[in-house]
Amino acid sequence: MKKHIQYSLCLSLLPIFMSFANEQDSKQKTSGASSYQQEAKIKINTFATQLKGQLQQAIKAGGLISAIDICKVQAPLIANALSTDSWQVARTSLKVRNHNNVADVWEKNTLDEFTIRKEDGQTFKQLKQEQLSLDSYRFMQAIPTGEVCLACHGKNIDENVQKHIKKQYPKDQATGFSKGDIRGAFTLSKAL
């Protein structure tokens, strides 16, 4: 009889232990995700700051046309330099200049979602998305179109600049943007 009570007590405690274990597990997952998000944000900041610096310096030194060539070399270099520790750092867009930046399915869905969320009034700071699965962590953050971007991504691009872009990127789609549009997004993934 005593044995029976002990046994059933054990059984009745089991769900409590299990839910405790689940809670611990999900706590670990969220704190894992947010520490990955932290890492992703640092990489994005570095990418944005370095590229903006290079771009501004290049425009100042040699004008827009030489800045295009510098962007072509520097953007992938900076992305590669930040792609360490199983991270892949890149940029993407619904309308790309460099074909290597074409969005995959998750990125395209996320960019579509960003468009809707922006129409609903969200700020650029809010336009981020993360996904944690068993084998990867992914993070995207929208990139706003600023005034300086219009010279190479806007509606009225100088004829010579346009010609040079077409020469370097015959399939360029990344024009026609206005200030405040979503130009694209930083997209990062980490293999787990």
Site residues (vs ligand HEC, CB under 6 A)? 55, 64, 67-68, 71-72, 75-76, 91, 93, 96-98, 101, 143, 145-146, 148-149, 151-153, 174, 183-184
Distance CA 30, CA 141 (A): 19
Q: Which is nearer to ligand HEC, 41 or 76 (CB)?
A: 76
Q: How many CB atoms lie within 10 A of CB 173?
A: 13
Distance CA 76, CA 151 (A): 21
- Supply the minimum distance, in Å, between the C-beta of residue 134 and ligand HEC: 29
Answer whether 101's CB lies under 8 Å from 143's CB.
no
What's the length of the chain?
Answer: 192
- Supply the minimum distance, in Å, between the C-beta of residue 133 and ligand HEC: 25
Q: Which is nearer to ligand HEC, 22 or 66 (CB)?
A: 66
- The residues, ordered by sequence, that sit 6+ positions from 180 with a Cβ below 8 Å of its Cβ are 144, 145
- Supply the minimum distance, in Å, between the C-beta of residue 67 and ligand HEC: 4
- The residues, ordered by sequence, that sit 6+ positions from 72 with a Cβ below 8 Å of its Cβ are 98, 168
Q: Which is nearer to ligand HEC, 33 or 76 (CB)?
A: 76
Q: Which is nearer to ligand HEC, 101 or 129 (CB)?
A: 101
- Supply the minimum distance, in Å, between the C-beta of residue 131 and ligand HEC: 20
